Amino acid sequence: MWCGDFNVHSALWGGERTDRNGQVIEALIEGRGLVCLNDGRGTRMDMRIGKESVLDLTLVSSEVAGTSEWEVARQRTVGSDHYPIVCVVGQRDKEGVEEGLGRWVFSKADWVRFQVMSERGLKSGVEAGGEVEHR
């Protein structure tokens, strides 16, 4: 887990623009298989102009990203122009995480019905003005 005031800008984590240093961090994230937990909410308030920016990042491995929670604690600035970030890693109920995971049993699929429904949906999309790309 890496977290801190990176002082970089990127649309990836909610910035209005992407600067050169933001591109470096984006490459690091991609190259190391990291996930940025930021969701676009501002983490710093410029008191002069009253505008928020996203400068404080929380990066985690992809293995723990799905069990992580990330929050900006706006009500507790503790005298700083940066909001505190609260991050909990690996604390979600294991049952709750697995509930959403479905399994496909392809041997039980009704492939004839699937084909009919797919062709019907495709035909109705074309008739409604949708475009179909043929390859």
Distance from C-alpha of 116 to C-alpha of 62, rounded to nearest angstrom: 39
pLDDT over 60 at 74, yes or no: yes
Rg (CA), the chain: 22
Provide the pLDDT for residue 93.
Answer: 54
Could you tell me the pTM of the whole model? 0.64
Give residue for tokens 């049952």: 95
- Give CA separation, 9 vs 29, 42, 51, 72, 77, in Å: 14, 12, 14, 18, 21
What is the dotted CATH code of the domain comprising 2-127?
3.60.10.10
Distance from C-alpha of 72 to C-alpha of 77, rounded to nearest angstrom: 10
pLDDT band at 92 (very low <50, low <70, confident <90, very high): low
